[in-house]
Every structure is written in structure tokens, then in C-alpha cells.
């Protein structure tokens, strides 16, 4: 089969899986949620319910997607079990993307983190079981691996709550996806660096040794959608991502954006402030314990559901390709980082620096 035919076949298979289905997306006004809405509406779903407790965010969603008769934006706080149950009637698939994700805010407000990232997950899961939803995918975070902060601990408990409820009613399949930074998302390092370089002429870096995983928004969401299709339930899907040294990212962005602010690159000062409370120097997506039974297949690392004492030997994912074993845990400080030229291509090709006027070429940087 030619490559183009394979791509079309994959697209048709995904469309067929979602055609005529009713889908709910929590956190629909957030970066991941909004992209989920956009991609799912392109798959001929019968209905898409975008849930969020951000009234202004829902207003913006309505402006973007309200012309589509399949879309409805619903004001819903996932910390209310009654509210979640009401909006899950008749739903086939649920993408649970609502969360508190900023480490410093979660450190200062641990009770709110528990309400949203733990009780919220429990409410979504219980409502899905009660309403006999077919499939649920919970979007988790790298910070759930060896958590050092409130946000990570809450996401880890969210994972455990979700996975433990898989098929508890004999019907509802529940899986998790776990990934790192989505490039350009709200509150992420890219828009922060852009603003600092252009407007302030100086850039703050918490540590020169920091590394991170990055993936584009569109690719991250596409892999979340595909993980729902391939999931067996009780498993964790980890998209393979590109590792980046933050000092290299800062250097490239200064070189590209300093002229936009009317400065020379050498005039932009870098201030090293030290790690924030609970902040890691590197990201982990797969722990050493998980690596012992995980598999590497296609664009994913997968931690299969526990099935006996073996290393996941009964779990196979034939629709994704041949399977191998990971060499080790998957952490950003262990992976070969992108070079500065590769970082520049990543930023430009995916239109992550709108000041430069590039249009995305869809040449997404991610390990295959």
C-alpha cells in the first residue's frame, strides 16, 4: 500500500469509529479541550458536548463552533457530581481534559487541586459508569510520575481512580493518556518567553539544567483520540515526544524574536531565578517500574493493564504496528534533545511564533 493510501485508510478508520456517536469533552475551553472539539467535529460525530466552568471560555467556543449544529457548549463544574451526571445522558465517549495544571497555583491551593483533579475525576468516572458510557479517556500529565508537587500527586491519584474503575459496570472501558508540554498552550513557556523577549528585553529561566518534552497541540490531541480507539481499558498511553533543553529553546527564541522587539539578540538578558516550589528539572513520562512491563509500539509507549505476574505478555496492540520493549524509563534528561536548528524548524514549521508570519507545514517533530 502506498503511503498516501495508508494515511487515507487510517483517517477513514478513525472517522468510522466516531461517526454517529455522541461525545463529551470536559475542559473544552482549555487548550487541549478546544483542539479536541475542533478535531472531533471533523469526524462526523452526531453530537459533541463541550463542558467547562469557564463562562467566557464557553462564549469563545460558541463563537468558534456554534455554527455547527452538532456542537453545544455547556456550563458544567466537574467538582459537582450532580452536574456531571446530568450532561452524560446518552453519551458514547468521554474525553476528560478538565484539570488544574499550573504547579505554583496548585501548591498554593491544594484543596482546590483535590476538588478538581481528584474528586472531579471521580465524578466523571462515576457518572460514566452510571450512564453506561462506552469509552472514557483521562488526560494525565508527566507530573504524575514520581510526583514532587501537589499537581503531580493529584494527577497520579486521578490516574489510579480512573484505571481502577475500568469495566466496573461490565461495559465502560477507561484508559489514560499521559504527556508532557503542549507547545504554545496557555500558560506554557513558549508564550511566556515570547512576551518577555519582545516586550521586556529580558528572559527568566528557573534553571539552566532544565529539560522538557514538547509536542504540538494538534499532534497531541490526534494521539489522544487514537488512544481511545486502540485502548483495551486499564492501560496508559504515552505519546513519544521530543526532548528539549530549555536553555537551547531560550537561545533560539531570543535569536528569532529579539529583532521583533527592536533589539539585538545579545541585548536580551537571561535571568536564572532558581526552580519554583515543587518544580522538577526534567520530565518523566514512564517510570522504571512501568518500563519493566511497558511496550513500545508506533507513536506510543503503552503501560498495559495488569494481567497476571508477567510483563504484559497477554496485551497486544496489533493495529499500531510491531511491539518492542522500552530500554529504560522515559525521561527528558535521558533522551537526545533537539538541536538548536531542529528547535528553530519546529517553531517555524508549526507556526508557534506568529510574529514571524509562518504558516504550519504540518511537519510535526515527534518520535515515530
Closest listed residue to residue 174, CA positions, set 101, 239, 93: 93
Backbone angles phi, psi at 347, to 5 degrees: -65, -45
Cell readout for 89 is: 445522558
For 307-340, how does the pLDDT look when each residue is reduced to its tens digit (9 = 90+)?
644 444 557 898 888 899 987 899 999 999 999 9
Helix (H) or strand (E) holding 215: strand 211-216
Residue 259's CB is within 10 A of a number of other CB atoms, namely 13
Which are the contacts of 129, defined by CB distance < 8 A and separation ≥ 6? 165, 168, 169, 172
Place of cell 479517556: 137
Instruction: Write down the domain spans for the chain.
Output: 3-179
CB 366 within 8 Å of CB 219: yes
Helix (H) or strand (E) holding 110: helix 110-113
Secondary structure class of 131 (helix, strand, coil): coil
Q: Which residues pair with 94 in a beta bridge?
A: 24, 136
Provide DSSP, 10-79.
Answer: HHHHHHHHHTT-EEEEETTTSHHHHHHHHHHHTTT-SEEEEEES-HHHHHHHHHHHTTSTTEEEEE--TT
Of 143, 155, 240, 280, catalytic: 143
pTM above 0.85, yes or no: yes
HSE toward the beta carbon, residue 109, CA cutoff 13 A: 12
CB 51 within 8 Å of CB 25: yes
For 219-270, how does the pLDDT look when each residue is reduced to its tens digit (9 = 90+)?
999 999 999 999 999 999 999 999 999 999 999 999 999 999 999 999 999 9
Cell readout for 18 is: 466516531
Pick the CATH number of 3-179 from 3.40.50.720, 3.30.70.120, 1.10.1040.10, 3.40.228.10: 3.40.50.720
Closest listed residue to residue 42, CA positions, set 182, 221, 239, 227: 221
For 36-81, how does the pLDDT look when each residue is reduced to its tens digit (9 = 90+)?
999 999 999 999 999 999 999 999 999 999 999 999 999 999 999 9
CB 179 within 8 Å of CB 241: yes
Closest listed residue to residue 236, CA positions, set 326, 170, 171, 332: 326
With pLDDT > 90 as the criterion, what percentage of the chain qualifies? 79
Rounded to whole angstroms, the Cα distance separating 175 from 35 reads: 19
Backbone angles phi, psi at 177, to 5 degrees: -120, 140
Q: Which residues pair with 52 in a beta bridge?
A: 75
For 248-262, how does the pLDDT look when each residue is reduced to its tens digit (9 = 90+)?
999 999 999 999 999
Active site residue 143: yes
Mean pLDDT score across all residues of the chain: 90
Amino acid at each position: 500500500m502506498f503511503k498516501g493510501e495508508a494515511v487515507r485508510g487510517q483517517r477513514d478508520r478513525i472517522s468510522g469509529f466516531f461517526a454517529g456517536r455522541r461525545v463529551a469533552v470536559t475542559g473544552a475551553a482549555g487548550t487541549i479541550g478546544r483542539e479536541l472539539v475542533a478535531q472531533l467535529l471533523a469526524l462526523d460525530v452526531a453530537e459533541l458536548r463541550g463542558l467547562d466552568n469557564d463562562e467566557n471560555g464557553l462564549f469563545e467556543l460558541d463563537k468558534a463552533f456554534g455554527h455547527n449544529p452538532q456542537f453545544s457548549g455547556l456550563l458544567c463544574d466537574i467538582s459537582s457530581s450532580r452536574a456531571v451526571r446530568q450532561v452524560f445522558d446518552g453519551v458514547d465517549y468521554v474525553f476528560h481534559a478538565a484539570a488544574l495544571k499550573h504547579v505554583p497555583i496548585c501548591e498554593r491551593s491544594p484543596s482546590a487541586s483535590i476538588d478538581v483533579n481528584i474528586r472531579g475525576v471521580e465524578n466523571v468516572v462515576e457518572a460514566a459508569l452510571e450512564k453506561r458510557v462506552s469509552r472514557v479517556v483521562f488526560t494525565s500529565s508527566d507530573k504524575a510520575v514520581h510526583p514532587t508537587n501537589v499537581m503531580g500527586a493529584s494527577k497520579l491519584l486521578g490516574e489510579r481512580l480512573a484505571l481502577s474503575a475500568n469495566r466496573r459496570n461490565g461495559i465502560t472501558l477507561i484508559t489514560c493518556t499521559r504527556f508532557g508540554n503542549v507547545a504554545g498552550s496557555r500558560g506554557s513557556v513558549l508564550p511566556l518567553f515570547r512576551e518577555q523577549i519582545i516586550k521586556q528585553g529580558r528572559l527568566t529561566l528557573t534553571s539552566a539544567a532544565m529539560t522538557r518534552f514538547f509536542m504540538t497541540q494538534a499532534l497531541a490531541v490526534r494521539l489522544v483520540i487514537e488512544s481511545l480507539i486502540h485502548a483495551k481499558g486499564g492501560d496508559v498511553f504515552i505519546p513519544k515526544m521530543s526532548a528539549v533543553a530549555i536553555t537551547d529553546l531560550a537561545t533560539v527564541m531570543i535569536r528569532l524574536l529579539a529583532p521583533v522587539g527592536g533589539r539585538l539578540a545579545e541585548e536580551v538578558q537571561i535571568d536564572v531565578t532558581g526552580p519554583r516550589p515543587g518544580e522538577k528539572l526534567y520530565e518523566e513520562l514512564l517510570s522504571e517500574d512501568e518500563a519493566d512491563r511497558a511496550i513500545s509500539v508506533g507513536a506510543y509507549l503503552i503501560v498495559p493493564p495488569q494481567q497476571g505476574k508477567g510483563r504484559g505478555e497477554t496485551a497486544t496492540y496489533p493495529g499500531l504496528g510491531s511491539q518492542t520493549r522500552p530500554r529504560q524509563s522515559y525521561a527528558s534528561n535521558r533522551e537526545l534533545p533537539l538541536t538548536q536548528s531542529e528547535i528553530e524548524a519546529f517553531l517555524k514549521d508549526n507556526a508557534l511564533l506568529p510574529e514571524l508570519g509562518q504558516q504550519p507545514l504540518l511537519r510535526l517533530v515527534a518520535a515515530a
